[in-house]
Chain A
Amino acid sequence: MKLTLKVWRQKSANDKGRLETYQLDNVSEHMSFLEMMDVLNEQLISEGQEPVAFDHDCREGICGMCSMHINGEPHGPDRGVTTCQLHMRKFKDGDTIYVEPFRAKGFPIIKDLVVDRSAFDRIQHAGGFVSVNTSGNTQDANAIPIPKDDADKAFDAATCIGCGACVAACKNASAMLFVSAKVSQFALLPQGKVEAKQRVLNMVEQMDKEGFGNCTNTGACEVECPKGISLENIARMNREFLKAACSAE
Chain B
Amino acid sequence: MSVLDSKIPEGPIAQKWTNHKNKINVVNPANKRLIDVIVVGTGLAGGSAAASLAELGYNVKALCFQDSPRRAHSIAAQGGINAAKNYQNDGDSTYRLFYDTVKGGDYRAREANVYRLAEVSANIIDQCVAQGVPFARDYGGLLDNRSFGGVLVSRTFYAKGQTGQQLLLGAYSAMNRQIGKGKIQMLNRHEMLDLVIVDGKARGIIARNLVTGELERHSAHAVVIASGGYGNVFFLSTNAMGSNVTAAWRIHRRGAYFANPCYTQIHPTCIPRSGDYQSKLTLMSESLRNDGRIWVPKKMEDVEAIRNKTKKPVDIPEEDRDYYLERRYPSFGNLVPRDVASRAAKERCDAGFGVNETGEAVYLDFSSAIMRYGHEKANILGEHDASIERVRALGEAVIEAKYGNLFQMYEKITDDNPYKTPMKIYPAVHYTMGGIWVDYNLMTTIEGCYAAGEANFSDHGANRLGASALMQGLADGYFVLPYTIGDYLAHDIRTGKISTDLPEFEAAEKEVRDRLEHFLNNKGTKSVDHFHKRLGKVMWDKVGMARNEQGLKEAIEEIRQIREEFYKDVFVPGTMNEFNPELEKATRVEDFLELGELFAIDALHRTESCGGHFREESQTEDGEALRDDKHFAYVAAWKWTGEPGKQELHKEELTFNDIELKQRSYK
Contact = CB atoms under 8 A, between A and B. Distances in A.
Interface string A40-82: 0010011011110101111111111100000000000010110
A139 B138 contact: no
A148 B159 CA distance: 12
A81 B134 contact: no
Given A56-B241, A57-B240, A63-B240, A138 B130 contact: yes
Nearest to B573: A50
Contacts of B128: 141
A122 to B, nearest CB: 9
A128 B415 contact: no
B73 interface: yes
11 contacts: A30-B274, A32-B279, A35-B277, A38-B529, A50-B574, A64-B70, A85-B412, A148-B137, A148-B139, A151-B141, A191-B132
A134 B479 contact: yes
A-B interface, 4 closest residue pairs, ranked by CB to CB distance from nearest:
A145-B141, A129-B173, A125-B180, A155-B134
A220 B69 CA distance: 27
B534 to A, nearest CB: 14
Contact of A134 (B48, B125, B142, B413): B48
Interface of B: 48, 51-52, 55, 66-71, 73, 75-76, 85, 87, 120, 123, 125-132, 134-143, 159-160, 162, 165-166, 169, 172-174, 176-177, 179-180, 186, 188, 211, 240-242, 274-275, 277-280, 282-283, 408-409, 412-413, 415, 478-479, 482, 527, 529, 571, 573-574, 578-579, 581-582
Contacts of A135: 127
B132 A146 contact: no
Nearest to A78: B412
A17 B123 CA distance: 52
Given A45-B582, A111-B578, A154-B134, A138 B127 contact: yes
A194 to B, nearest CB: 11
Given A64-B71, A151-B137, A57 B126 contact: no
A35 B68 contact: no
Q: Is the interface of A mostly helix, strand, loop or mixed?
A: loop
Contacts of B211: 110
Contacts of A46: 527
Contacts, number: 211
Contact of A35 (B127, B130, B180, B278): B278
Given A63-B66, A110-B211, A155 B160 contact: yes
A60 B282 contact: yes
Contacts of A225: none
- The winner among A126, A134, A146, A155 for most chain B CB atoms within 10 A is A134
Given A63-B76, A121-B188, A151-B137, A142 B143 contact: yes
Contacts of B179: 121, 125
Contact of B73 (A58, A121, A124, A132): A58
Given A50-B573, A132-B131, A116 B141 contact: no
A3 to B, nearest CB: 14
A191 B581 contact: no
A214 interface: no
Contacts of A59: 240-241, 279-280, 282
Contact of B123 (A81, A110, A136): A136
A85 B413 CA distance: 7
